[in-house]
Amino acid sequence: MKRKPSTETTAAWIRLMRVQTRVLNAVEQDLKKAGFPPLAWYDALLELSRAPAGELRPVELEKQMLLPQYSTSRLIDRLVDEGLAVRRECKIDKRGQFVEITEAGRELQKKMWSAYSAGIEKHVGSKLSDTDAVKLCGLLDRLGCSCVETPSLAVKDGAPAR
Q: List, for residues 3-59, the tens digit of each pLDDT value.
A: 899 999 999 999 999 999 999 999 999 999 999 999 999 999 999 999 999 999 999
CB 105 within 8 A of CB 79: yes
Name the residue type at position 73: S
Q: Cα separation of 132 and 129, whole Å?
A: 5
CA distance 112 to 26: 15
User: What are the pLDDT digits (tens) for 65-80?
Assistant: 867 778 899 999 999 9
Q: Is the pTM of this model over 0.85?
A: no
Q: What is the DSSP letter of 160?
A: E
User: Which of 37, 19, 21 minimizes the C-alpha distance to 115?
Assistant: 37
DSSP state of 87: E
